[in-house]
């Protein structure tokens, strides 16, 4: 709480009255403001009016107004929203375009996964995307190229709300992933917390005491061995979420690019059941996954998924671009037919309009 008491001493002096005026200023370091800010975070301001009387007896008192401003934050992190029972909907960002990241945030996604595993960017490019998302108060998750202490350290120093480890196939690998996220003695994460973005470059003095509570640790299960051990991976202390990977799983089972294959779907549903059989509030994990053409976002939500990634930015642009070209080429062939169609669809406009 920051308490500021203002008095009008000049006015009191002008009235010739001896006064006893108190001016206090109590401030707190910026550590009470979490970074980055979360979508639902609010600042609650309350004002209270009091009066200060003159020290000398008088028939009339000098009253002044003091305003006590209480600044409190209620950060709604991805982790806390999951604990509250929310189902979160997000997007994967492969383009590493800060502009598309900003558009995604402004569109209302609950989270955006900046994908360093399959996207062309690294740490520097990811930082620009995180800044764009922070401007829209949208939580960012970083998916690592591989599960290693070095990549985890560099990613976490950027200050994402979540981190995703690919291709986790056992509880031992999951335990290692968690250790990469924690400072000694709980883990092996290298410490430069006084100068990195995650701690507001050292301004957030409470970072060391709250980073573990706010960080969402996600382990991706995307192989035949991984789905077989999904339950034990979900039970590892520190693993908050198990992310299903249907595409790599289909390849692992011998059905490359055929995630709709019956055997792949059965394996996936077995892993889903294993994770959903755990309780995230008492040592289990939440379930996350990708929507597919044959298995849409609503299907995943109905089966109990807590986090659903519905699309990829590159895929969205590709589909829109291909359809735009198709419609134009069709108009060249159809001529008047297209003009009539355009008249019927007058409410559809180009993005530039």
Q: Which residues are catalytic?
A: 118
Helix (H, G, I), strand (E, B) or coil at 306: coil
CA distance 71 to 68: 10
CA distance 153 to 155: 5
Q: Are residues 287 and 241 in contact, defined by beta-carbon separation less than 8 angstroms?
A: yes
CA distance 26 to 271: 53
| Tokens describing residue 180 | 């990469």
Phi, psi of 231 (to 5 degrees): -65, -45
Burial of residue 345 (number of CB atoms within 10 Å: 0-12, 13-18, 19+): exposed
> Cα angle vertex 205, ends 140, 185, to 5°?
80
Q: Write the DSSP symbol of residue 117.
A: T
Task: Please name every residue paired with 91 in a beta bridge, in sequence order, or none if there are none.
Answer: 112, 311
CA nearest neighbour of 130 among 143, 149, 146, 117: 143
Residue 274 CB-half CA count within 13 A: 20
CA distance 199 to 196: 6
Q: Are residues 160 and 196 in contact, defined by beta-carbon separation less than 8 angstroms?
A: no
Q: CA–CA distance from 244 to each of 64, 163, 230 (Å)?
A: 62, 15, 9
Region at 102 (left for phi over 0; alpha for psi -120 to 50; beta for the rest): alpha
- Beta carbons within 10 angstroms of residue 314's beta carbon: 17
Q: Are residues 183 and 208 in contact, defined by beta-carbon separation less than 8 angstroms?
A: yes
């Amino acid at each position: 709480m920051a308490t500021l008491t203002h008095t009008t001493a000049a006015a009191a002096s002008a009235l010739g009255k001896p006064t006893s005026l108190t001016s206090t200023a109590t401030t707190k370091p910026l550590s009470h403001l979490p970074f980055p800010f979360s979508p639902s975070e609010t600042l609650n301001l309350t004002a209270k009016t009091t009066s200060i009387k003159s020290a000398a007896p008088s028939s009339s008192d000098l009253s002044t107004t003091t305003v006590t401003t209480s600044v409190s934050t209620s950060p709604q992190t991805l982790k806390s929203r999951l604990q509250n029972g929310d189902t979160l909907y997000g997007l994967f960002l492969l383009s590493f375009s800060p502009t598309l990241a900003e558009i995604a945030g402004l569109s209302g996604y609950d989270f955006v996964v900046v994908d360093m595993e399959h996207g062309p960017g690294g740490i520097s490019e990811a930082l620009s995307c995180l800044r764009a998302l922070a401007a829209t108060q949208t939580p960012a998750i970083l998916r690592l190229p591989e599960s290693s202490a070095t990549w985890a350290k560099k990613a976490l120093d950027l200050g994402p709300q979540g981190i995703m480890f690919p291709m986790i196939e056992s509880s031992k690998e999951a335990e290692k992933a968690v250790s990469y996220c924690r400072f000694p003695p709980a883990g092996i994460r290298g410490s430069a917390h006084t100068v990195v973005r995650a701690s507001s470059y050292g301004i957030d003095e409470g970072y060391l005491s709250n980073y573990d509570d706010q960080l969402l640790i996600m382990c991706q299960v995307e192989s035949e061995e991984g789905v077989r051990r999904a339950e034990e991976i979900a039970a590892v202390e520190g693993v908050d979420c198990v992310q299903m990977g249907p595409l790599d799983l289909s390849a692992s089972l011998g059905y490359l690019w055929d995630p709709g294959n019956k055997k792949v779907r059965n394996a996936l549903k077995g892993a889903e059941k294993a994770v959903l059989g755990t309780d995230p509030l008492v040592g289990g994990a939440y379930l996350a996954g990708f929507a597919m053409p044959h298995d849409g976002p609503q299907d995943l939500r109905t089966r109990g998924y807590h986090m659903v990634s519905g699309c990829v930015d590159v895929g969205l642009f590709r589909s829109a671009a291909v359809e735009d070209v198709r419609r134009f080429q069709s108009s060249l062939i159809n001529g008047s037919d297209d003009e009539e169609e355009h008249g019927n669809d007058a409410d559809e406009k180009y993005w530039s309009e």
